[in-house]
Amino acid sequence: MRKFFALMAALTLTLGMVGISDARSPKQQRDSVAGTFDYYLLSLSWSPTFCLMHPDNEQCSGKGYGFVLHGLWPQYARGGWPESCPPLTQLNQQERAKGLTLFPTEKLLKHEWSKHGTCSGLGAMGYLDAADKALAKVQIPETLQPSTSVRYYEAAEIAQQLRQSNPGITANGVAVLCSGPELSEVRVCLNKDLEFADCGKGVKTQCRSGQIRIPPIR
């Protein structure tokens, strides 16, 4: 009987160790490696909403921005993303100049390159060129252009307007995000060739039901 209990204890310990190993493996598989990802997520921030919460930010000094580039993010189809991929390098003067034609502030540019751009595997200028092409790929509909008037739409209507202006966007290729009752971002998914694609796990619309407010430009 003692031998039986000893055997069962050893078996339980072995199974427990296997369980721990299995639990750790997804994390080990997600070690961030430049160029190792499945698709891009293009994040466009609605600047007037950002500026309601950050009125002193240089982005908010009466420039009349509507949607601005938040980032072009490498993503995993199974959910999650790589970040801060080595080797981490600083942007040179030419790269900063290019980046400032895309991002609204230098602080955001540096953050996005360090956290997300380094994982593209393209190098700084290659990543910025990809962000430029991604921005040009997405046509903002007239209904979502900068305006001095408040507008109200349901999140599904905003997604539909984007699809109408960009027929290639798939049914699962765009997500709308809100900050409380107000529009904060739209996110469009692109493959590595910067063509419209389905979004991976975890990318979805995050807004309340009913109409949401689209703040006017300052």
CA 52, distance to chain mean position in Å, is 21
Among this protein's residues, is 70 annotated catalytic? yes
**Which H or E element spans position 154?**
strand 151-154
Instruction: Give the closest residue to 75 by CA, choosing from 207, 205, 197.
Output: 197
Q: What is the 3-state secondary structure (H, E, C) of 107-134?
A: HHHHHHHHHCHHHCCCHHHHHHHHHHHH
Q: How many helices (H) and strands (E) does the chain have?
A: 6, 6
Among this protein's residues, is 111 annotated catalytic? no
The upper half-sphere exposure of residue 47, i.e. CA atoms within 13 Å in the direction of its Cβ, equals: 24
Which candidate in 111, 116, 157, 182 is catalytic? 116
In angstroms, the CA 57 to CA 54 distance is: 6
Which candidate in 58, 83, 112, 182 is catalytic? 112
Which candidate in 58, 70, 95, 142 is catalytic? 70
Q: Please say whether the beta carbons of 68 and 45 come within 8 A.
A: yes
Among this protein's residues, is 95 annotated catalytic? no
Catalytic residue ranges: 70, 112, 116
